[in-house]
Chain A
Amino acid sequence: MTIKKIKEKFVESIIYSCGTFTTLAVLFIIVFLFKEGSGIFQKTALEEGYSLAVNRYNPVSKLSPEQIKSIIEGDIHNWHQLGGNYDSVYIFTLSDIESKFTQEELGAEFEHLKEKITAYVESNTGVLAFFPSKYVDASLAKIDVDKITLASILKGKDWYPTANPAPQLGALPIVLGSIMVSLGAIIIALPLGVIVAIFLAEIAGETLKNVIKTVIELLAGIPSVVYGFFGLVVLVPFVQQLFDIPVGETALSGSILLALISLPTIISLSEDAISATPQELKNASLALGANRLQTIFGVTIPFASSGIISASILGIGRAFGETMAVLMVTGNAAIMPKSLLEPVRTITATIAAELGEAPTGGIHYEALFILGTFLFVFTFAVNLIAEFFAQKR
């Protein structure tokens, strides 16, 4: 008897601990996303292990990642553009040392490189030297590069995470790309989904309803990579020819696919909400002389509205987080999105495409985890809002 009791208590304690599993999982996800990503806020937007040095008489001591990029690309070529003396900028990097110094001057193991760099920087007023920190003497005037902040990531317009020497980590075009593609998706999917839901709940007969519901469930079951593949071989060429544009991999293609993917969610949740309208309300409307159509729009839809809102919010969340389908059809150009007919890149596609090549613990890797954190926070908020509307019912 007691052994049996102990056994029961043992299994029950396992049940109790399983109950906390999802909470723990969410907690671990938060901790690990943060742990992997937060290191980026300690770093400057300069390639790790490198330093920027200038001549001691150069008053410029601080540069932003955008300014460094402009210097490298030649858009900024004089120090006075950066608030310094009137002196042209001369970039001095590892690739220049062989043309400046002979092998003997540098020594067989580059043991003299450090002093050569020091001498060169001290004798040229306009130089901007970019070298591994171990070759940059402590006596040289260093350039501080801005620390990466959440604001700099959210506001930055350039995403070149592997740019050398200053990685550009502006996620704005990517975030906007995600928003654009999912808004496009919901604009297509919401009217379609609600109409199908009304048809199923109010108009179709029992048999027809079951057939169509089975088909919609099929739609929900198709893996997203299959959608992506279908989009790539059918939808992309179709969009390209229809609008006569150079590439069919556009935001629109992504929106159409995502609309299909979020349709089952929207249809089934809206239908639940519409079916939940009490028959008495509808009867009252019909008894007042309204026909079925007027009842649907005058009584049923208003009654089900918070359920439909909840459905569409969840649909947006689903579209926002979808990866494979958008990765395969949106063209993945990290530029500020201007129209639906241009390639865009989404948060999910960026992570999927770049994480494999980003060295673990590096600045790029951490930036991708920050993007993942954005996604997490967004979907978390979406779920809470959807739940709020669902409970309002």
Chain B
Amino acid sequence: MHKNIVEKIVFQFFGIVTWFVVAVVALILGYIIYRGVGIISWNFISQPPINGMMEGGILPAILGTLALILGSCLLAFPIGILSGVYMNEYAPKNIFKKFIGMMTNNLAGIPSIVFGLFGLAMFVNFFQFGVSILSGCLTLAILIVPVIIRTTEESLKLVEDTYRLSSYALGASKFETVFRVVLPMAFPNIITGLILSIGRVAGETAPIIFTAAAYYLPQLVLSLGSPVMALPYHLYVMATSGIDLDKSRELAFGTALVLMAIVLLLNFAAGGMKLYFKQNRS
């Protein structure tokens, strides 16, 4: 019976370790919520920062982040979805497809700061777009394309071949099959991937520091050619380089909470949708 006692002890230990990890997550979320919730008010969300960012709100940063999300998603969604369609529906199974799959994985694994360097070199300097929303959106779009390709591919794989064959049997072309039958069926799963990539854009800091982000820009001009404030960069600035760190860090808790709430709500939405579609299908 000795070995069964060991088993019990080890399993208990594994359980404790797992709950420890869960507790750490709870600690991080709880601490940010606890310190941040008192900061958040209507004024905090609807006012620009004032008085050297020691008072006021984060409206320009919220709007800037929304602009970056909108722009990069408009660029990345069609490219990502069509690439995914190519990979799963059109590409012949040869070494070329394998190579593209490898490149997609590699692109997904490149550190975000390298995207920042690339964006600075290509969009800001070479194409002369300057530090602007446009440069930021282009950089972020390239960052999330691999995520979208992967989810699209995965979702298309889930569509059973019988549907494709039935469609062909009815005389539909390949194009009609893909766009009228396969894509609509895969769409719910694709959407969850799109939502997750929005969350990714909202939280990324390193790619926008040199391509789009402004340290402080209280007015709300949103043209493609102007730099913007963005929530993650604003949080970094408030946490590390304010005039009065004690004061700006208090506000930073509010910024962190807003940012975290946006990203986590998007994650929840994606998860909820996945569950909903799963249940509807079965």
The interface of chain A, by Cβ under 8 A from chain B, is 8, 11-12, 14-16, 18-23, 25-26, 28-29, 32-33, 35-36, 192, 195-196, 198-200, 203-204, 212, 214-219, 221-230, 232-234, 260, 263, 291-294, 314, 317, 320-324, 327-328, 348, 351-352, 355-356, 360, 368-369, 372, 375-376, 379-380, 382-384, 387
Q: Are B111 and A321 in contact (CB under 8 A)?
A: yes
By beta carbon, the residue of chain A nearest B196 is A221
Q: Which residues of the partner chain A approach B149 to less than 8 Å between Cβ atoms?
A: 22
Q: List 23 A-B contacts (CB under 8 A).
A: A15-B82, A18-B86, A26-B106, A32-B126, A195-B18, A199-B18, A200-B18, A215-B26, A216-B25, A218-B25, A221-B263, A223-B203, A223-B205, A225-B236, A230-B256, A260-B28, A314-B109, A321-B109, A323-B111, A348-B206, A351-B116, A356-B209, A369-B117
Q: Are B102 and A387 in contact (CB under 8 A)?
A: yes
Chain B proximity of A148: nearest CB distance (Å): 19
Q: Are A352 and B86 in contact (CB under 8 A)?
A: no
Q: Are A23 and B99 in contact (CB under 8 A)?
A: yes
Known: A25-B145, A196-B21, A225-B203. A375 touches B111 (CB 8 A): yes
Interface size on B, residues (CB 8 A): 83
Q: Which residues of the partner chain B approach A324 to less than 8 Å between Cβ atoms?
A: 205-206, 232, 236
Provide the bound-state CA to CA distance between A219 and B18, in Å.
13
Q: Is residue B52 contacting chain A, with contact meaning CB distance below 8 A?
A: no
Provide the bound-state CA to CA distance between A242 and B273, in Å.
44
The interface of chain B, by Cβ under 8 A from chain A, is 3-4, 6-7, 10-11, 14-15, 17-18, 20-22, 24-26, 28-29, 31-32, 78-79, 82-83, 85-87, 90-91, 99-100, 102-107, 109-118, 120-122, 125-126, 142, 145-146, 149, 173, 175-176, 199, 202-206, 209-210, 232-233, 235-236, 239-240, 249, 252, 256, 259-260, 263-264, 266-267, 271
Q: Which residues of the partner chain B approach A18 to less than 8 Å between Cβ atoms?
A: 78-79, 82-83, 85-86
Provide the bound-state CA to CA distance between A121 and B159, in Å.
81
Q: Are B117 and A368 in contact (CB under 8 A)?
A: yes
Q: Which residues of the partner chain A approach B239 to less than 8 Å between Cβ atoms?
A: 228-229, 232-233, 328
Q: Are A355 and B120 in contact (CB under 8 A)?
A: yes
Q: Are A230 and B28 in contact (CB under 8 A)?
A: yes
Chain A proximity of B129: nearest CB distance (Å): 14
Q: Are A36 and B121 in contact (CB under 8 A)?
A: yes
Q: Are B113 and A293 in contact (CB under 8 A)?
A: no
Provide the bound-state CA to CA distance between A230 and B79, in Å.
35
Provide the bound-state CA to CA distance between A19 and B78, in Å.
12
Chain B proximity of A22: nearest CB distance (Å): 4
Q: Are A352 and B209 in contact (CB under 8 A)?
A: yes
Q: Which residues of the partner chain B approach A321 to less than 8 Å between Cβ atoms?
A: 109-114
Q: Are B206 and A323 in contact (CB under 8 A)?
A: yes
Provide the bound-state CA to CA distance between A355 and B210, in Å.
8
Chain B proximity of A198: nearest CB distance (Å): 6
Provide the bound-state CA to CA distance between A317 and B105, in Å.
13
Q: Which residues of the partner chain A approach B202 to less than 8 Å between Cβ atoms?
A: 223
Provide the bound-state CA to CA distance between A26 and B203, in Å.
23
Provide the bound-state CA to CA distance between A293 and B210, in Å.
51
Known: A196-B18, A234-B31, A376-B110. A222 touches B264 (CB 8 A): yes
By beta carbon, the residue of chain A nearest B101 is A22
Provide the bound-state CA to CA distance between A192 and B25, in Å.
14
Between A212, A233, A322, the greatest number of chain B beta carbons within 10 A of the residue's beta carbon is seen for A233
Provide the bound-state CA to CA distance between A383 and B146, in Å.
14
Q: Are B114 and A33 in contact (CB under 8 A)?
A: yes
Q: Which residues of the partner chain B approach A229 to less than 8 Å between Cβ atoms?
A: 32, 235-236, 239, 252, 256
By beta carbon, the residue of chain A nearest B210 is A355
Q: Are B100 and A23 in contact (CB under 8 A)?
A: yes
Chain A proximity of B207: nearest CB distance (Å): 9
Q: Are B103 and A223 in contact (CB under 8 A)?
A: no
Known: A33-B121, A222-B260, A291-B3. A352 touches B106 (CB 8 A): no
Q: Which residues of the partner chain A approach B21 to less than 8 Å between Cβ atoms?
A: 192, 196, 216, 219, 263
By beta carbon, the residue of chain A nearest B19 is A212
Chain B proximity of A206: nearest CB distance (Å): 14
Known: A195-B14, A215-B22. A223 touches B83 (CB 8 A): no
Q: Which residues of the partner chain B approach A320 to less than 8 Å between Cβ atoms?
A: 111
By beta carbon, the residue of chain B nearest A382 is B109
Chain A proximity of B38: nearest CB distance (Å): 15
Chain A proximity of B156: nearest CB distance (Å): 12
Provide the bound-state CA to CA distance between A88 and B14, in Å.
69
Q: Are A203 and B15 in contact (CB under 8 A)?
A: yes
Q: Are A19 and B18 in contact (CB under 8 A)?
A: no
Q: Which residues of the partner chain A approach B82 to less than 8 Å between Cβ atoms?
A: 14-15, 18-19
Q: Are A226 and B203 in contact (CB under 8 A)?
A: yes
Chain B proximity of A73: nearest CB distance (Å): 30
Provide the bound-state CA to CA distance between A233 and B34, in Å.
13
Q: Are B252 and A33 in contact (CB under 8 A)?
A: no
Known: A18-B79, A223-B259. A293 touches B86 (CB 8 A): no
Known: A32-B121, A223-B203, A375-B114. A293 touches B10 (CB 8 A): yes
Q: Which residues of the partner chain B approach A260 to less than 8 Å between Cβ atoms?
A: 24, 28
Q: Are B7 and A292 in contact (CB under 8 A)?
A: yes
Q: Are A23 and B260 in contact (CB under 8 A)?
A: no
Q: Which residues of the partner chain B approach A291 to less than 8 Å between Cβ atoms?
A: 3-4, 7
Q: Which residues of the partner chain B approach A322 to less than 8 Å between Cβ atoms?
A: 111
Q: Which residues of the partner chain B approach A387 to less than 8 Å between Cβ atoms?
A: 102, 105
Contact of B205 among A28, A199, A224, A233 (CB under 8 A): A224
Q: Which residues of the partner chain A approach B83 to less than 8 Å between Cβ atoms?
A: 18-19, 21-22
Chain A proximity of B78: nearest CB distance (Å): 8
Provide the bound-state CA to CA distance between A317 and B108, in Å.
11
Provide the bound-state CA to CA distance between A384 and B105, in Å.
9
Provide the bound-state CA to CA distance between A224 and B263, in Å.
12
Q: Are A11 and B256 in contact (CB under 8 A)?
A: no
By beta carbon, the residue of chain A nearest B203 is A223
19 additional A-B residue pairs with CB within 8 Å, beyond A222-B28, A225-B235: A196-B18, A204-B18, A212-B18, A215-B25, A215-B26, A218-B267, A219-B21, A222-B260, A226-B32, A226-B203, A226-B260, A229-B32, A323-B111, A328-B236, A351-B116, A352-B209, A379-B111, A383-B106, A384-B106
Q: Are A323 and B113 in contact (CB under 8 A)?
A: yes
